[in-house]
Structures are given as structure tokens and as C-alpha cells.
Amino acid sequence: MRLTHDIFLEQQQKLLMTPELRQAIAILQMSTLELGEHIQKEMEENPFLDEKEPEEVPEQEKREAEAEAEANNALEQWMEYHSDRDYGYMPQEREEEKSFENYVTSRPSLVEHLEFQLRMLSRDDQDLPIGEYLIGSIDDNGYLTVELAEVAARLEVPEARVEKVLKMIHSFHPHGVGARDLSECLMIQLCHYGKNDPIITEIVQNYLEDIGRGRLNRIAQALNISVQEVQEICDLIRTLDPKPGLQYSNSEQVKYIKPDIFVEKIDGEYVVIVNDFQFPRLTINRTYEKILRQPEAFSQEARQYLEEKMGSAMWLIKSIEQRRMTLYKVARCIVDIQKDFLDNGIAFLKPLTLREVADIVEVHESTVSRATTNKYMETPQGLYELKYFFSTGVQCRRGGERISARSIKKQIEEMVAQEDPTQPLSDEQIAQNLQEQGISISRRTIAKYRNELGIASTIIRRRY
């Protein structure tokens, strides 16, 4: 077998993911807040980007002429001043702006809150390092994550002293912090509220799993008390906080939602408005655009840099406009399909898939998925994520139409809310009620929807 080198032509079709295409996909997937932050970052890095003033209207020729003359004047002054100079950037000093935000303090974290109480209540300076070590070992939920023997060995102190400091931490706010398990956390809170009688203590220490599974009869038989008493104790236990540390969770993790789409009913018709006024309107800086037309004033490297920034600015503006048009088309399609929901509520929500919207808008299914990810629509029925309008459907025997799964979940919630607490509805009974309304659905599907809604089983919901 002889190996040879040959040259031949071959035609291939490939999809190349260019940096510009990646940027367009990323911008399409951004929410309004994320896009605003991205635009601000790009404006700081790209000199060709400029913010269009609200009163700047491109159709007026007079203003265009004035802007052109101003740009030429600025260009001449810039070229004249910098023709033989090379200065670095000198930031202009300005007085700090006084505003209310400069005086707003952040909420203390859980560690800071506990350390403050430790310094206030500790009477022995030798207990401070022990308390600080224990507080530093408490997780975000408020539970101690280290063994006392390990703390005693590391700090070279008796374990009894570590136990004493931990008891002091148990008296801190939020009540229940520093516990080593759920049972101890609940007992600390019960002691604080003066509810730690022997029967309640026995149930908390030995029967929490039975409470979670709704086995109240078993607890009543074991403790020789009535089921009604067990139920009252369970109601008391459910008022306690199983994760007290979350009361001082990091406030920076809070994410505020700004609607990406507004839907308003005007003269009997629903109008779709894309929320693009939360971030600045971009335009090309005329001064730098004129500078780029002076090739003899720059080196090849500088000109290449300016051309790259110019292309990046134009592509960013194009991607933002393309995002706006895609969002409008997708939202318009959803509104047209879900008019009954907008008029009457969740019970009239229709089943809808990404593919159906993609076929109507004439884009790829992945484009619809990106356009609806982390996007929210403000409607007359409230604020909803765009993904909320997409759900599977269940066949309805009356009329042969399909009904949305979210609509069925809403009906399940209403049935459970109206049921007799002493005789709660079973999954089979809920399925029968829906079948009487012409909705063909199985008991297993009802159980699945009930679990997704966070509704407990019949045994746990039952009141004695």
C-alpha cells in the first residue's frame, strides 16, 4: 500500500459560531436588568458607543446638520490639540454627590448579629474566642456544624466549658440558632416560649418523623393521649422555625424583577410593549466616527483597533434591536393565543408548546426558548414568567379540546381549599370530580400535580 498526497475540492455545509453570533444569542437570553448592566459595561469600554438623548430625533434634517457641524468642529479641535501631544487620562475631580443612598446601611449578617450579642452578654474574656469559633461554625440555616470535642481540642479548653458557651448562644436571637439537629432547634424555641411540657418534649424528641408522615394515631397510642391533643401539639410545632438562620440571610441575594413585556388592554385590544426604556438607547459617537475616516492620522494598529470597536458597537446595536423584535413577536403570539387567560384568569389558560410558537413566529424552537428564559410579562392578571404560559395539555371529552395542566392544578387547589377538613378529598375523588367536568385524568396524574403544588396527602391534611 502506497501513501500519496493529493489535492482535491470538497463542498461542505457548516454552522460557524462567530463571536458576533454568540453575542447576539447571549443578548437575546438576557433579562432587562442584565441587558442594562451589559450596556453600561460596553459603553465604558467602547468609545464608539454613545447614549442617544430622548430629544434626539433622526428624521429632522436640521438637527442632523447641527450635529454634523458640531462633530466636525469637535474633530478639528481634537486633531489640533492632540497632533503633537500624548497625554494620559486625567480624571476630573468632582465633589461626591450627596444622596440618600450614601447613608443607607446594610443589614447585619447572621455571624455579625450573633457576635454582637456575644460581646454584650459574655462576662468572661476567655469565653469570647470559644464563642467566636462556635459562631463561625454555624451555617446559613442556623445549625452548628462542628463537634464540641473538636472545638475543645482545637482551643485546648475543657469540653464542659464549650458546652457552657454553646448554651449561652442558644439564648441568642434568632431563637433556635446554634442547634445541632432539628429536634434541639425546636426544643430551644419551645423553652423560650415556655411550652416545653413533658408530652411536647417527648413528641419533639422521638416522633418528628411520624408527624411528617401524618401518623397521629400512632403517636396517640404510644403516649396514651387523644388524637386531638396530638393534633394541637403538631399545630404548635408547625409554628416554630426549623431554619432560624435564614432570618439573617444575605440581602444581596435578593433579586428584583422588572417586567420585560407589558400587556395592556386598550379599546378592547391587547397591546404588547417591550420594556426597552429601562436601558439607554445607543448610537454611534459621531466624533469617533469622523476620526475613523482619517486613515492617515493613525498607525495600522490603531486603525485596526478603531475598526474593531466600530464593528463591535454596530453589532451590539443590531443585536439589541433584533432582541426587541424577537421578544415582541413571541409575546404577541402568546397574547393572541392566551386571550381567554388575560380576560378570565388561570382557569382559561390554554396548553402551549415552544414548537407551536416557533412555527407561528417562523424561528427556531431554541430561539423561542432563549427569548422566554428569565423574562417576565406584566398582564392584567398579574406578573408572570413567559415560561408560565407553556404547559402540556390534557384531553377534554367535551368538545375534544385540550385543557392546560396549569388550569387543572388551579382547579385542584380550589377543590382542596373548599374540602371538609375532617373528610379531605382523596386523589381518586379529585380525579372523579374532574372527570365529571369532562376532563380525562388519572389518579396518578392528580397525585403528581398535587405534589408539584406542595399539597400534602389526605392523611396529613385530615383534621380530627
CB 106 within 8 A of CB 123: no
Question: What's the pLDDT at 89?
Answer: 38
Per-residue cell: 249: 440571610
Mean pLDDT of 294-299: 72
| CA pair distance 354, 337, nearest whole angstrom | 13
| β-bridge mates for residue 278, sequence order | none
Is 172 in a helix, a strand, or coil? coil
Write b or e for each residue in 145-180: b if 16 or more Cβ atoms lie within 10 A of its Cβ, otherwise e.
eeebeebbeeeebeeebbeebbebbbebebbbbbbe
pLDDT for the residue numbered 91:
42
Q: What is the pLDDT of residues 379-428, one digit of tens each?
A: 999 999 999 999 877 766 555 667 888 888 888 999 999 998 889 999 99
Other Cβ atoms within 10 Å of 435 Cβ, number: 13
Q: How do residues 83-139 score in pLDDT, each as one tens digit?
A: 554 434 344 444 455 554 555 456 788 899 999 999 988 888 888 999 999 999 999
Architecture field, domain 393-461:
Orthogonal Bundle (1.10)
What order do you get walking across the sheet with 382-385 strand by strand? 269-274, 261-266, 376-379, 382-385
pLDDT score recorded for residue 400: 60
Q: Which amino acid is at 84?
A: D
* Distance from C-alpha of 299 to C-alpha of 305, rounded to nearest angstrom: 10
Q: Residue 246 forms beta bridges with which residues?
A: none
- pLDDT by residue (tens digit) across 157-192? 999 999 999 999 999 999 999 999 999 999 999 999
Q: Report the percentage of the chain scoring pLDDT > 90.
A: 39
The residue written with cell numbers 422555625 in the block is: 241
Lowest mean pLDDT among 53-57, 148-152, 331-335, 455-459: 53-57
Which of the four pLDDT bands, split at 50, 70 and 90, describes residue 36? confident
Per-residue pLDDT reduced to its tens digit, 238-281 = 999 999 998 887 655 556 788 999 999 998 899 999 988 877 88
CB atoms within 10 A of CB 59: 6
φ, ψ dihedrals at 51, nearest 5°: -90, 130
Domain ranges of the chain: 110-248, 261-389, 393-461
* pLDDT > 70: percent of the chain: 84
Which residues, other chains included, contact 218 with Cβ-Cβ below 8 Å and sequence gap of 6+?
Answer: 210
Residues linked to residue 403 through DSSP beta bridges, in sequence order: 394
What value does the mean pLDDT take over residues 224-251? 88
- What confidence tens digit (pLDDT) does each residue in 11-30 have? 877 766 677 778 888 888 88
